[in-house]
């Protein structure tokens, strides 16, 4: 019986594939998750680059992990504007579901329920 690479078994939501839980040892799964987390810290998907409470906007950058080095910088003025950017970026071939998920989390962290910027301190990853 051949083993599947533990790195391939780790899904974007960081869960080990349930196809055959006996294919991986706990240590292999843990190593795969740590590898994924290290890569995410070293090569982020989305960053908060600047926060401007007086303008009520936050600057974000999306990064392409396919190796092309593509970066897409933009500012966002709240949830409706964030929705606009999701619709603009989602069809791009280099933008993944995980990019959208990270961006959505960062939006929730940066804006309050009324769509106002929470603070001037940014976060590069959720």
- Domain positions in the chain are 6-42, 46-110
The answer to whether residue 17 scores a pLDDT higher than 60 is: no
Cα 119 from Cα 114, distance rounded (Å): 14
Q: Reduce the DSSP state of residue 88 to 3 states and report it.
A: helix
Cα 5 from Cα 3, distance rounded (Å): 6
Query: What is the token pair recorded at 107?
Result: 């939006």
State pTM to two decimals: 0.66
Query: What is the token pair recorded at 4?
Result: 């599947």
The pLDDT-based confidence of 31 (bands split at 50, 70, 90) is confident
Q: How confident is the model over 97-123, as a mean pLDDT?
A: 86
Taking only the tens place, the pLDDT of each residue in 36-89 is: 777 766 678 999 999 999 999 999 999 998 778 889 999 999 999 999 999 999
């Amino acid at each position: 019986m051949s083993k599947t690479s533990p790195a391939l078994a780790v899904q974007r939501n960081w869960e080990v594939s349930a196809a055959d839980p006996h294919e991986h040892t706990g240590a292999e799964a843990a190593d795969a998750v740590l590898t994924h987390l290290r890569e995410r810290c070293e090569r982020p998907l989305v960053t908060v680059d600047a926060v401007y409470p007086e303008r009520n906007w936050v600057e974000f950058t999306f990064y392409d992990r396919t190796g092309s080095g593509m970066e897409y910088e933009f500012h966002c003025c709240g949830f409706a504007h964030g929705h606009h950017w999701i619709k603009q970026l989602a069809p791009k071939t280099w933008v993944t579901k995980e990019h959208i998920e990270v961006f959505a989390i960062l939006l929730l962290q940066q804006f309050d329920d009324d769509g106002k910027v929470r603070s001037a301190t940014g976060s590069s990853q959720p």
